[in-house]
Homo-oligomer: A and B are copies of this chain.
Amino acid sequence: MKSPTELTEAFRATGLKVTPQRQLLFRLMHGNTMHPTAEVLYSEASAQMPGISLRTVYQTLTDLASMGELRLIDVGAGAVRFDPNVDEHHHVICQGCGDVRDVYVAGSQALHIEGLDGFSVDSTSILFHGSCASCA
């Protein structure tokens, strides 16, 4: 994801307004490696801006996602998680505490896939299930 300053320019350049709510979310997401849910971001945002609505958090996150600034990750645990890391990477989820961490996988493009009859593959998501150091 771009920096808050770059996003500010990018938004204005597209005719989108730069509101305090959006700026706050730019800051909360930039460099965030926690893979937070909308609810988590809402509570973090509320601490700094009481009165911000959950609806706006969802709105802004999906806007950023459709601009390609965020990725949505579904780890099969209820709520979707938002990821400012748009590099090619994958995830491990701790089955104990739900913590999600980035992992980089070598050779995922070269996987030999059998049974793909007629299907063409655009992208690959790998989710490793396991335990973090604390939950082990």
Contacts and interface: CB of A to CB of B under 8 A. Distances in A.
Interface of A: 74, 76, 89, 92, 94-95, 101-108, 111-133, 136
A94 B101 CA distance: 27
Report how many copies the assembly holds. Answer: 2
A121 B92 contact: yes
Contact of A126 (B92, B101, B114, B126): B126
Contact of A129 (B103, B115, B122, B129): B122
A114 B108 CA distance: 12
A122 B93 CA distance: 10
A84 to B, nearest CB: 16
Given A76-B74, A105-B114, A114-B104, A130 B126 contact: no
Given A74-B74, A129-B125, A111 B119 contact: no
Contact of A114 (B74, B94, B103): B103
Contacts of A116: 92, 101, 103, 128
Contacts of A122: 95, 129-131
A130 B98 CA distance: 28
B115 A101 contact: yes
